[in-house]
């Protein structure tokens, strides 16, 4: 292919992209070239006349209802009215106004979600049965609270009663064996009536066995107090989930590999987002994490390819290993100042991430927090940060410059290894020749670095003579 024909092909693609943006409500620039395409895409209006801002209010299905800048939300004296959904009763936003104001003052974005209960207080599970499908045994596993009973209404006029007369929780199950072959496409709704329980899964198998491949909706009533580990794992048809405010625990991998689940609102009573909770939910676009959460577990959002935005609550203290690894659509992340620990590869392979600010209190003992973030252009190491961890930004191809604050005492092995576009390392914050940060190994920076900028001649001499820094002696400038 000739250069001229390749240029023509690229221009045709750019024109097609602008046309698509226009059809989605974007305002087109006068010069429709590649320089303005990103801003044009960003201007696309979502949900009619509302677009994403600093603080956003979402319905449980991911619909954007309200949005405010930080300045606007600080003027609010009451939360917006709750939305409505057929068959459900809106309970609350999963943030209070005070919590939103606190986040806004710190410059932390907030995605607020609405929690619902069912209008009859029963928990509902809906299953799509395709025509001609033979339905084998359906089994529900429940963990009953003490002195409680639950009636399972199978939706065909039959029911099963499960009881626990003891003083401690008991795991049991309800089973249905006599569904006939479906003569037409149909949706069956099973209701769990009364009692208090957590929904679980069969030991060694899926919660519903065959049911996991046909469940399409789950709506927690006020009688559902928890979702146990792996409850909905691999429920590939599941598209609609509402969790009531009565849900106080969600186990690990509860929604893992729910390929078609796009959004979820976590209730305000949850304080930890469990390990692998949404791992490999490839089409997950939005999760509202409440202000009550203090820990984001290992692999929580692993390989959520379509997750393009996440607001980390301001009181989160720990982001564990691989928490957001492979979230390749994330473009910007705000790590709150309360974060004290960022695990290995917590944001690894986030190819779309272009900017990150690392708070001063965030320990990163295992390194590689931002490895393989191919689109990362800017990393801000906050003043007060005492070290840059091992292979912190390993293989961040387009990172062009970094500024090291004077509080840094140590830069560990391979901190910026394979950052082949890195040309400027700004060290001008260091002004004391006797306080040069320790450089563990000369491979911390790539050979591509053109300039290490220092404050003055005294610092130039100090850095040039320091262990391992001397490798770059001919690259120090004032």
pLDDT at 27 (0 to 100): 47
**pLDDT of 283 over the 90 cut:** yes
Residue 163 CA to residue 153 CA, distance in Å, equals 14
Domains in the chain (CATH in brackets) are 1-44 (no CATH), 54-267 (no CATH), 317-478 (3.80.10.10)
Higher pLDDT, 178 or 264: 264
CA distance readout (Å), 33 to 3, 17, 39, 331, 377: 18, 10, 11, 22, 22
Across the range 465-469, mean pLDDT stands at 95
Backbone phi, psi, residue 36, to 5°: -110, 0
* DSSP 8-state code for residue 470: G
**pLDDT of 211 over the 60 cut:** yes
pLDDT at 46 (0 to 100): 46
pLDDT at 34 (0 to 100): 61
Segment 358-399, tens digit of pLDDT = 888 887 767 899 999 999 988 889 999 999 999 999 999 999
Question: Which pTM does this prediction carry?
Answer: 0.85
pLDDT band at 10 (very low <50, low <70, confident <90, very high): low
Give the torsion sign (CA, 25, 29, 34, 40): negative
Across the range 318-335, mean pLDDT stands at 93
Segment 388-411, tens digit of pLDDT = 999 999 999 999 999 999 999 999
Segment 101-135, tens digit of pLDDT = 999 999 999 999 999 999 999 999 998 877 766 66
pLDDT at 224 (0 to 100): 97
pLDDT band at 13 (very low <50, low <70, confident <90, very high): low
Residue 21 CA to residue 29 CA, distance in Å, equals 11
**pLDDT of 45 over the 60 cut:** no
């Amino acid at each position: 292919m000739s250069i001229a024909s390749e240029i023509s092909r690229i221009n045709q693609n750019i024109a097609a992209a602008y046309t698509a943006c226009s059809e989605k409500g974007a305002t087109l620039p006068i010069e429709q070239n590649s320089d303005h395409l990103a801003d044009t895409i960003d201007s696309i209006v979502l949900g009619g006349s509302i677009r994403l801002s600093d603080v956003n209010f979402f319905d449980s299905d991911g619909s954007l209802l309200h949005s405010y800048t930080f300045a606007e939300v600080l003027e609010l004296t009451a939360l917006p009215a709750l939305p409505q959904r057929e068959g459900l009763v809106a309970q609350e936003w999963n943030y209070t106004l005070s919590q939103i104001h606190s986040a806004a003052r710190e410059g932390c974005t907030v995605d607020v979600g609405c929690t619902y209960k069912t209008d009859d207080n029963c928990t509902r599970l809906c299953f799509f049965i395709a025509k001609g499908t033979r339905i084998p045994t359906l089994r529900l596993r429940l963990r009953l609270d003490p002195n409680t009973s639950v009636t399972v209404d199978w939706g065909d006029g039959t029911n099963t009663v499960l009881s626990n007369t003891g003083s401690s929780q008991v795991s049991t199950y309800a089973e249905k064996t006599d569904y006939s072959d479906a003569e037409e496409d149909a949706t069956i709704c099973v209701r769990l009536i009364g009692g208090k329980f957590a929904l679980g899964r069969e030991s060694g198998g899926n919660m519903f066995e065959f049911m996991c491949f046909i469940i399409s909706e789950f709506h927690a009533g006020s009688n559902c107090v928890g979702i146990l580990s792996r409850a909905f794992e691999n429920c590939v048809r599941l598209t609609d989930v509402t969790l009531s405010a009565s849900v106080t625990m969600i186990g690990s991998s509860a929604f893992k590999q729910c390929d078609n689940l796009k959004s979820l609102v976590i209730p305000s009573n949850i304080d930890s987002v469990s390990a692998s909770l949404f791992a490999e939910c490839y089409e997950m676009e939005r999760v509202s994490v409440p202000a009550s959460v203090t820990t984001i577990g290992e692999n929580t959002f692993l390989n959520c390819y379509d997750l393009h935005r996440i607001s980390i609550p301001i009181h989160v203290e720990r982001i564990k290993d691989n928490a957001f690894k492979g979230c390749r659509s994330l473009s910007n992340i705000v790590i709150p100042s309360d974060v004290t620990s960022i695990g290995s590869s917590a944001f690894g392979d986030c190819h779309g991430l272009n900017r990150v600010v690392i708070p001063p209190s965030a320990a990163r003992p295992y390194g590689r927090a931002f490895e393989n973030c191919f689109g990362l252009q800017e990393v801000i190491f906050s003043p007060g940060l005492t070290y840059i961890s091992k292979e912190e930004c390993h293989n961040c191809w387009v990172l062009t410059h970094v500024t090291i604050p004077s509080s840094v005492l140590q830069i560990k092995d391979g901190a910026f290894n394979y950052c082949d576009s890195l040309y400027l390392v700004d060290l001008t914050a260091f002004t004391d020749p006797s306080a040069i940060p320790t450089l563990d190994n000369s491979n911390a920076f790539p050979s591509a670095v053109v300039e290490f900028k220092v404050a003055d001649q005294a610092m130039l001499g100090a850095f040039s003579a320091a262990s391992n820094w001397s490798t770059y002696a001919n690259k120090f400038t004032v």
